[in-house]
Amino acid sequence: MFIDFKRKEQGFVSSDDNNQGKILGKLVVGNPSTTTIKDLMFVEGLKHSILNIIQFCSNGFTITFDAHSCTIEHNDDKAIVFKGLRVDNLYVLDIDDVSSLSGAKCLMAKNEVSWLWHRQLSHVNFDLLNKVFPKDLVIGLSKMKFEKDKLCDAYQNVKQTRVSFKPKNVVSTSKPLELLHLNLFRPSRTKSLGGNYYDFVIVDDYSRFTWNLFLSRKDDTFNAFAKFSKVIQNKILFKIVSLGNDHGGEFVNHHFEDFCDEFDISYNFTCPRTPQQNGVVERKNRVLKDLARTMINEMDLPKGNLYQMLFLR
């Protein structure tokens, strides 16, 4: 698409992610007999062609934007020379429809597969995807390199929080099931397809492995835990040593006390109104809610579907 190029190093161009591209020269794009765009910069490493509005205005064009598209017309004859459509937060020019450029095309390869996996795995970050796929931890995950080439609006709108508390730099456990963190989600306004309203979350302090037990009633908490404890201890051949929870009513009862006394399990409570002391499972709760909210936000579903979406996972 270049019709003229002058090599001249003129410094650097910074992008939103603080990366800098070296300017290698100036160029002219277009057709000399019809439409040309002058004084464009050729930037090393830039993957896409980006046209600045100032460049158009300085070369005799008028640009009109609306919610769905933009048009670029020449000031002299008011002829429309470019027309672009809005894609997410960018206006993209469709050069195929511009006859003045004699069929020249600017091709951009979009790695939609990586973003599809990003959405299917509840908007997990791309660094984690790159760590997961070489080890075949997800069945069917494509053998590819996941590159983040744009911002995920759903992720940015949902996964924001205040500054976290200072972390504890001490490993308090040395084997699985030595300490389990327990917590129960508040009831949902929307019943799941399985008839559940509650999510019983159990996090192993040593491995950070998480189990989710979905319950229809709050009173089912003890029965669910008693069944879970027998299964998990037989499965991994370790004994539950200690339990920690937030002093909720579903945990403070004679059923849990008798169970812990029978199997010599230490039973610990946090101070009232101090969720930071039960931070491991509280942080896991936030992750689970963020995953559900992100999917709901992307699909413009009612907020009441939060736990419905979570239970479907």
d(CA 305, CA 130): 31
For 36, residues 6+ apart whose C-beta sits below 8 A from its C-beta are 3, 28, 29, 30, 59
pTM tops 0.85, yes or no: no
Kindly report which listed range (25-39, 254-268, 278-292) carries the lowest average pLDDT score. Answer: 25-39
Predicted confidence (pLDDT) per residue in 149-178, tens digit: 777 777 777 767 666 667 777 778 999 999
pLDDT band at residue 112, thresholds of 50, 70 and 90? low
User: What is the mean pLDDT of the segment spanning 216-235?
Assistant: 94
The answer on pLDDT for 264 being more than 70 is yes
pLDDT band at residue 16, thresholds of 50, 70 and 90? low
**For residue 46, with 0-12 CB atoms within 10 Å meaning exposed, 13-18 middle and 19 or more buried, which class applies?**
middle
Predicted confidence (pLDDT) per residue in 126-153, tens digit: 888 888 777 777 777 666 777 777 777 7
Closest alpha carbon to 226 in 191, 189, 182: 182
H or E stretch at 181? strand 180-184
pLDDT band at residue 102, thresholds of 50, 70 and 90? very low
Write the DSSP string, 222-243.
Answer: HHHHHHHHHHHHHHH-----EE
Percent of the chain with pLDDT over 70: 82
By three-state DSSP, how is residue 117 classified? helix
Considering just the CA atoms, what is the radius of gyration of the chain in Å?
28
CA distances from 28 to 6, 54, 96, 265 (A): 9, 15, 19, 76
The answer on pLDDT for 2 being more than 90 is no
Domains detected in the chain: 2-101 (no CATH), 109-150 (no CATH), 165-312 (3.30.420.10)
